[in-house]
Structure 1
Amino acid sequence: MAADDDEHLIERSTGESAVLHRGWLELRKDVVQLPDGSRATREYLRHGGAVAVVPLLDDEPGAETRLVLVRQYRYPLQKVLLEFPAGKLESGEDTLTCAMRELQEETGYVAREWAYGGEIHNAAAYSTESIWIWFARGLQPGPPRPDAGEFVETVTLPLAALEALSDRGELPDVKTQIGLFWLLRARAGKMSLPWRSGSSGAHL
């Protein structure tokens, strides 16, 4: 749809805003003008964005596809989640560089080839955060190098096992659900994954 068709939905900033900084997060409370001319407040978090990686293990021809994931305790939820490796972008960092760094830090693996999947907004109602999803293959194992205070457990799962967890409602992490969905679409020929060397080509 054309942008002009959205005028009846757009909220515009009045310039009035309160800001609270806490670590790498910025909490904002903006006053906006609604499409009908009235005013309201919008509270949201500014977030620099993150990258997630869908790592594919190269097994014997004909063998079932296996994936590398991590188990990590998520304090706000008070539970351990099964997730694809992921992490925050550093200032000025491109998404592929971040993907390479996070994969190696969390799992120890280094990938020979990479393919860009896409960008998702995982909490659009209250955060500016985007997550850029990359796919990795040609994995070579190595020692993980987690950040100080980061405790993660690397696991490998067959694709069918991850699908089964999703089907049972036991895979609540959104980036992992989307990564799995895109991988299945690619395997079905419904989505293109343009593989390239990790050391060449334009980064996003």
Structure 2
Amino acid sequence: MTRRLPVIHGVTEHDAGPYRFEQLDLEFANGERRLYQRMHGRGHGAVVVVPMLDAETVLLVREYAAGVHRYELGLVKGRIDAGETAIEAANRELQEEAGYAARSLTQLRALTLAPTYMSHQTQLIIARDLYPQSLPGDEPEPLDVVPWKIDSLHELMLREDFSEGRSIAALFIAREWLRTQA
């Protein structure tokens, strides 16, 4: 069933650091009116990278996560800088965070965090044919690089220090995509 999008009668904006908050005055097809809020990021999007060291091994990084005040395992990820494509950003972040570059990068799809109130999208990139190559990053300390067998994702999912939703979703999507490529 295709629904007509709500009519936007007005938008009120205010700035909040790295985000712009909007309040939308919406009217739905059934005549109901509601105020919705949404956040827009100020950047050019983000990437999450699934770096495949070989056909069976993904590289994870362990870094400090201020939101939960602990060290977290996850995938390489970061912002897309102005003038960069998602592929270029993925290769740069891979070099900054994991100390590798990739000869083959494939953009699979966009992931959203909370699409009911955030416009932010993260591009999922698979990096293959890796080789050692480092760039200085913005992290205050070197990140631990942890190889993990992609067939052991069931063990990774149960770890307390692996909780970031984009990393979890990206690994399962990548695993299924890689199976179709074999």
Q: Does TM-score exceed 0.5, indicating one fold?
A: yes
SS at match of 2:62: strand
2:105 corresponds in structure 1 to: 114
Measured on the aligned residues, the alpha-carbon RMSD in Å equals 2.4
Is the 2:51–2:127 contact (alpha carbons within 8 Å) kept by the matching residues of 1? yes
TM-score, normalized by length of structure 1? Answer: 0.76
2:130 and 2:52 mapped to 1: Cα distance? 7
Is 1:54 aligned to residue 50 of structure 2? yes
**Which structure dedicates a bigger proportion of its chain to strand?**
2
Q: Output the amino acid matched with 1:6.
A: R
Unaligned segments of structure 2, at least 5 residues: none
1:95 and 1:187 mapped to 2: Cα distance? 20
1:38 to 21, 29, 33: 33
2:137 and 2:105 mapped to 1: Cα distance? 21
Identity, in percent, stands at 25
1:16 corresponds in structure 2 to: 11
1:98 to 89, 112, 126: 89
Is the 1:100–1:110 contact (alpha carbons within 8 Å) kept by the matching residues of 2? yes
Q: Output the amino acid matched with 1:27.
A: R
1:140 corresponds in structure 2 to: 131
Q: Output the amino acid matched with 2:33.
A: S
1:147: how far off?
Answer: 1.1
1:28 corresponds in structure 2 to: 21
Relative to structure 1, the CA distance from residue 150 to residue 14 in structure 2 (aligned partners, 3 Å threshold; closer, same or farther) is: farther
1:81 and 1:179 mapped to 2: Cα distance? 16
1:153 corresponds in structure 2 to: 144
1:12 and 1:169 mapped to 2: Cα distance? 44
2:136 and 2:26 mapped to 1: Cα distance? 47
1:47: how far off?
Answer: 4.6
Deviations 1:145-198 (A, max 9, x none): 2215465322212223333122x2643212211221122212432xx59xxxxx
1:108: how far off?
Answer: 1.2
Relative to structure 1, the CA distance from residue 128 to residue 51 in structure 2 (aligned partners, 3 Å threshold; closer, same or farther) is: same
1:122: how far off?
Answer: 1.6
Is 1:178 aligned to residue 175 of structure 2? no
Q: Output the amino acid matched with 1:32.
A: D
2:105 and 2:168 mapped to 1: Cα distance? 19
Is 1:86 aligned to residue 77 of structure 2? yes
2:57 and 2:38 mapped to 1: Cα distance? 41
2:179 to 174, 183, 188: 188
1:137: how far off?
Answer: 1.1
Q: Output the amino acid matched with 2:41.
A: R
